[in-house]
Structure 1
Amino acid sequence: MAADEKNADEREAREIPIEGCEGDENAEAEAVTEAAEEAAAGPAEGEADDIAAEAEAVVAEAERLAKAEAEAAAMKDRYLRLQAEWDNYRKRTAEEAADMKVRAAEKIMEDVLPVLDDFERAIAHAEQNGEEGLLDGVKAISTKVCQVFGKHGLEAIDPAGEPFDALEHQAVATVPDESVPDETVAQVYQKGYRLGKKVLRPAMVTISSGGPKREAEEE
């Protein structure tokens, strides 16, 4: 009987629970279970929205960069095309200008050739018949030359008796003359020439001095 009581006491002693052990194990199990459920459920709703927004922003930025790169490539291609077109235009206009210059010179030379022929004929006539009539021939040739160059816009500046003009005349000397207004062209040493409105060469002249001042309306 005493032995049975002793065995019963030992069984009770072995079955006495340790305080806190069973509760801790349950808490850990619940925590593991919750973590597993959260992992299975994925991120919270707010976090998912943030991730989605960031992803959309990254995609939008990538699209913007791609668009900018495409526009830059298109602008570069357009610039290169315009540069090539400008180079071609510049070369073409330079060639056209050179060609026009050659054609203009050819036209002038064609008009001058008959004058050269006249000079040769006048020289040959003077050699065969003496100098008789040579002066008249030279005068005729000079007139023809003036007509040829006048056809191409060349005008002689022969200002004898006209008021002095510093834009078209070059004074090389002064002569006293009280009979004409001051600074009147007295003599033309060398004619000048203008082409259109441009003075190619001013006339070399002498001008009067000592005469009355030229009136403003005459100027």
Structure 2
Amino acid sequence: MAADEKNTPEHDAREIPIEGAEEKECGGAECASAAPEAPEEAVQAEDAAAEDEVSEEAEDIAVEAEAVVADAERVAAAEAEAAAMKDRYLRLQAEWDNYRKRTAEEAADMKIRAAEKLMEDVLPVLDDFERAIAHAEQNGEEGLLDGVKAISSKITQVFAKHGLQVIDPAGEAFDALEHQAVATVPDESIPDETVAQVYQKGYRLGKKVLRPAMVTISSGGPKREAEEE
């Protein structure tokens, strides 16, 4: 009866508690759940840091990409502006060439028209010369001088009509802008540097002197007053 009691389940179920045995025998999922969670949090922190770093790099790349796009747009705008300016320059150059050619043609036409008008006015004078020569050949030289004088007066009027003025400064003060002194003549009766004689008349067209008059001037006389100068 005592042996049977030893082999009963109740006897097997009873165990002698050993201090610290539960901690040693702990294992499997329960031990895993009881372990500290510090390593997993560190991994999560590392992942978060990596994500932040990737995000910052992505933002930097985006900023650089925007800068590259902006530079490309500025370059494209500058190229377009340069092309427009080049086209404008070529157009202006063509317009200037056309204007220069047109102005040259107009100036040539004006010169021809002016010459035509002058020749039309001079033709009657040439006719008078031919008549005077024919008259002298038929009737001798009688009256030839009067005819030449009349023709000279007539042609002077024609030239004056076109703006030509005669420079005949006899007795006037010498003017280096319109007169050319070829000699000096001592004369105390008239003011110094007075035109004594005109060897060749000069001509002026408007304000421009075409040819100065060739003259002799006096010397030795009194100085000309400033008011007369």
The match for 1:133 is: 143
- Distance in 1 (CA, whole Å) between partners of 2:78 and 2:223 is 77
Structure 1 residue 180, shift from structure 2 partner: 1.0
Give 3-state SS (helix, strand or coil) of 2:180's partner.
strand
Q: TM-score, normalised by structure 2?
A: 0.75
Structure 1 residue 149, shift from structure 2 partner: 0.3
Q: 1:87-166, aligned counterparts within 5 Å?
A: 87-166=97-176
The match for 1:215 is: 225
Give 3-state SS (helix, strand or coil) of 2:222's partner.
coil
Aligned match for 1:192, one of 183, 196, 202: 202
Structure 1 residue 48, shift from structure 2 partner: 2.3
Structure 1 residue 200, shift from structure 2 partner: 0.9
- Distance in 1 (CA, whole Å) between partners of 2:74 and 2:187 is 89
Structure 1 residue 88, shift from structure 2 partner: 0.9
Larger mean Cα displacement after TM superposition, 197-206 or 141-150: 197-206
Structure 1 residue 109, shift from structure 2 partner: 0.8
Larger mean Cα displacement after TM superposition, 117-126 or 167-176: 167-176
- Distance in 2 (CA, whole Å) between partners of 1:51 and 1:214 is 95
Aligned match for 2:212, one of 195, 202, 211: 202
Moved over 6 A (4+): none
The match for 2:16 is: none
Aligned match for 1:83, one of 69, 82, 93: 93
Say yes or no: does 1:53 pair with 2:67: no
Structure 1 residue 73, shift from structure 2 partner: 1.0
Q: TM-score, normalised by structure 1?
A: 0.78
Question: Whose Rg is larger?
Answer: 2
Larger mean Cα displacement after TM superposition, 111-120 or 62-71: 62-71
What stretches of structure 1 of length at least 5 have no aligned partner? Answer: 1-29
The match for 1:178 is: 188
The match for 1:5 is: none
Q: Residue deviations 1:75-102, cap 9 Å, x none?
A: 1111111111111111111111111111
Structure 1 residue 160, shift from structure 2 partner: 0.8
Structure 1 residue 175, shift from structure 2 partner: 1.7
Give 3-state SS (helix, strand or coil) of 2:218's partner.
strand
- Distance in 2 (CA, whole Å) between partners of 1:69 and 1:210 is 79
Identity of aligned residues (%): 87
The match for 1:64 is: 74
- Distance in 2 (CA, whole Å) between partners of 1:64 and 1:176 is 85
The match for 1:168 is: 178
Structure 1 residue 47, shift from structure 2 partner: 2.4
- Distance in 2 (CA, whole Å) between partners of 1:54 and 1:162 is 89
Structure 1 residue 45, shift from structure 2 partner: 2.4
Q: CA RMSD in A?
A: 2.1
User: What letter matches 1:84 in structure 2?
Assistant: A
